[in-house]
C-alpha cells in the first residue's frame, strides 16, 4: 500500500512540472510582475496570484517534500521565494510564512502526528495557507518577551480562545492560524493553538494600509470565544519550558529567506535604474545619462552592495544551516535588509523626480524595501545581542587575551 507521503508526491508529479526549474520560475516572475503595480495601488490581497501559484505546484512544494521524505533544501526554497518576489514581493512574503510555519511544525514532536499530517496534506494538495498569529497591540512581538493577552480557557472537549492579533500576514486567504496564546491557569501554559480560519467567532478588521508590502493583507484579527478541540492545543508549555527551545535551523531559514526576498526587491530597483539611465537622453546632454561618470559610479556602488548580499546568501545557503549560530543568522537578515534599503535610496537620490513618480516602479521598490526593517529580529535586538556575546566572550577569556 502506498504511503501518504508517496501518494502526495505522486499526485504532485502528475499535476505539476518542477516548480524549482529555471523555466517555471521565469514564467512565475513574469506572470506576477504584470499585476504587481496594480496590487500596490489598490492594497487588495492578490488571491489570483495564489490561485496561479497553486496551479504551478508552488504553495504545497515544501509540505509535499516533507511528506515524501525528501525535504526542500534551503537553496531550492531561496530560488523559489526570490522568483516570486521578483514578480510581486507581498505574494512572496505570504508564501514564505506558510513554508516557515510548515517547517516549524513538520519536525515538532509536540504536535499530534495525525493533525500534523492532516495540515501538511492540506497544504500539499490544496494549497492551504497557514501562518502564526503572534503580535498583539499591547505586547508587540513576543520575541521581546512577555505574556500574550490572548487567552485559552478550557471548555468541554476543547478550548475557547479570545484575543486580538495584529499584523496577521495573509489573513484574507489563510486556512489555518497558529495562534500564540496562554491558558488561564494560575501558572499559565504558553504556546500555539491551531485554529481553522473559518471558525465561528473570528473577525478580521481591515487595518492594513501601510507604505510598503501593501498586498500582504496583514490585517487585525479578533477572536471571541473561538472553540477548538483538545488536540488543537498543539504546543503549549510553561514559560520556563520555552527557554532555550529555539530551532536554530528554522531561525536560519527565516533570516536567509527574508533577506533574499528584500534583496530581490533591491535587484528590481537596480535593473530599472540601469534601464532608465541607458534610455534617458536629455536634450542638453545629447547622450544617455549612462555616459556620465556620476551615474556609472553610483551603479557600481549599487552593484558592490548587491555583491556583498549575494556573497552572504551564498555562504549561508551552501553551508550547514542547522549549525548557523543565532548571531550569524541575525546578521544575515540585518545586513541584507539594510543593503536593500541602501540600494533603493541610492537609486532614488540619483534619478530625482522620475524616481518618485508612481508611473515608475522605483518608488514602490523603495517602499517595499523599507518593510524589511520591521521583521523580527529588529536592528536593536540584533546588535545588542551580538555586542553582549562579544563582551561575554572577552569576560570569559575566550577572546582578546
pLDDT of residue 376: 87
Burial status of residue 167 (CB atoms within 10 A of its CB: 0-12, 13-18, 19 or more): buried
pLDDT of residue 326: 85
Last residue of a domain, one of 221, 240, 259: 240
Average pLDDT, the chain: 92
User: Is the same domain home to 96 and 113?
Assistant: yes
Q: Let me know if residue 258 belongs to a domain.
A: yes
Determine contact, residues 346/272, Cβ cutoff 8 Å: no
Is 310 a residue whose pLDDT tops 70? yes
- The domain total for the chain is 3
Question: What is the CATH number for 190?
Answer: 2.40.110.10
Locate all alpha helices (DSSP H) within 226-378, ordered by sequence.
Answer: 239-242, 248-279, 293-317, 326-351, 353-356, 362-370
* pLDDT, mean of residues 35-45: 98
Angle at 222 between CA 219 and CA 227, to 5 degrees: 130
* pLDDT, mean of residues 347-355: 95
pLDDT of residue 60: 97
> pTM to 2 decimals?
0.93
Is 380 a residue whose pLDDT tops 50? yes
User: Is the same domain home to 22 and 36?
Assistant: yes
Q: Let me know if residue 399 belongs to a domain.
A: no
Q: Let me know if residue 49 belongs to a domain.
A: yes
User: Is the same domain home to 146 and 123?
Assistant: no
User: Is the same domain home to 114 and 151?
Assistant: no
Last residue of a domain, one of 181, 211, 240: 240
Is 51 a residue whose pLDDT tops 90? yes
Question: What is the CATH number for 10?
Answer: 1.10.540.10
Q: Let me know if residue 122 belongs to a domain.
A: yes
Determine contact, residues 103/254, Cβ cutoff 8 Å: no
pLDDT of residue 397: 82
Question: What is the CATH number for 350?
Answer: 1.20.140.10
User: Is the same domain home to 310 and 253?
Assistant: yes
Q: Could you tell me the residue range of the domain that residue 165 belongs to?
A: 133-240
- Record the cell numbers describing residue 294, joined without a space: 556620476
User: Is the same domain home to 37 and 173?
Assistant: no
Is 14 a residue whose pLDDT tops 60? no
User: Is the same domain home to 143 and 111?
Assistant: no
Amino acid at each position: 500500500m502506498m504511503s501518504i507521503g508517496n501518494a502526495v508526491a505522486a499526485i504532485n508529479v502528475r499535476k505539476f512540472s518542477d516548480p524549482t526549474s529555471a523555466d517555471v520560475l521565469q514564467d512565475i516572475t513574469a506572470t506576477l510582475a504584470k499585476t504587481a503595480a496594480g496590487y500596490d495601488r489598490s492594497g487588495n490581497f492578490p488571491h489570483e496570484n495564489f490561485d496561479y501559484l497553486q496551479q504551478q505546484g508552488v504553495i504545497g512544494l515544501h509540505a509535499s517534500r516533507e511528506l515524501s521524505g525528501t525535504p526542500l533544501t534551503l537553496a531550492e526554497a531561496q530560488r523559489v521565494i526570490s522568483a516570486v518576489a521578483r514578480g510581486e514581493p507581498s505574494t512572496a512574503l505570504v508564501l514564505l510564512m506558510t513554508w516557515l510555519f510548515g517547517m516549524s511544525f513538520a519536525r515538532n514532536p509536540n504536535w499530534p502526528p495525525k493533525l500534523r499530517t492532516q495540515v501538511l496534506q492540506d497544504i500539499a494538495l490544496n494549497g492551504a495557507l497557514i501562518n502564526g498569529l503572534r503580535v498583539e497591540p499591547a505586547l508587540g512581538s513576543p520575541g521581546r518577551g512577555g505574556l500574550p493577552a490572548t487567552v485559552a480557557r478550557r471548555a468541554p472537549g476543547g478550548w475557547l480562545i479570545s484575543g486580538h492579533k495584529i499584523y496577521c500576514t495573509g489573513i484574507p486567504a489563510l486556512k489555518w492560524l497558529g495562534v500564540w496564546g496562554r491558558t488561564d491557569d494560575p501558572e499559565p501554559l504558553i504556546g500555539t493553538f491551531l485554529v481553522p480560519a473559518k471558525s465561528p467567532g473570528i473577525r478580521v478588521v481591515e487595518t492594513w494600509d501601510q507604505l510598503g508590502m501593501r498586498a500582504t493583507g496583514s490585517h487585525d484579527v479578533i477572536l471571541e470565544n473561538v472553540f477548538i478541540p483538545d488536540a488543537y492545543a498543539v504546543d503549549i508549555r510553561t514559560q520556563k519550558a520555552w527557554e532555550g527551545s529555539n530551532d536554530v535551523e528554522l531561525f536560519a531559514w527565516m533570516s536567509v529567506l527574508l533577506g533574499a526576498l528584500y534583496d530581490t526587491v533591491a535587484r528590481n530597483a537596480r535593473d530599472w535604474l540601469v534601464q532608465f539611465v541607458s534610455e534617458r537622453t536629455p536634450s542638453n546632454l545629447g547622450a544617455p545619462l549612462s555616459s556620465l561618470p556620476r551615474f556609472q559610479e553610483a551603479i557600481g556602488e549599487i552593484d558592490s552592495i548587491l555583491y556583498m548580499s549575494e556573497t552572504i546568501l551564498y555562504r549561508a545557503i551552501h553551508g550547514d544551516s542547522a549549525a548557523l549560530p543565532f548571531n550569524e543568522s541575525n546578521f544575515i537578515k540585518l545586513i541584507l535588509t539594510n543593503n536593500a534599503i541602501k540600494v533603493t535610496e541610492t537609486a532614488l537620490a540619483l534619478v530625482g523626480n522620475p524616481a518618485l513618480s508612481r508611473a515608475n516602479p522605483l518608488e514602490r521598490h523603495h517602499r517595499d524595501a523599507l518593510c524589511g526593517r520591521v521583521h523580527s529580529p529588529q536592528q536593536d535586538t540584533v546588535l545588542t545581542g551580538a555586542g553582549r556575546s562579544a563582551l561575554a566572550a572577552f569576560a570569559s577569556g575566550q577572546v582578546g587575551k
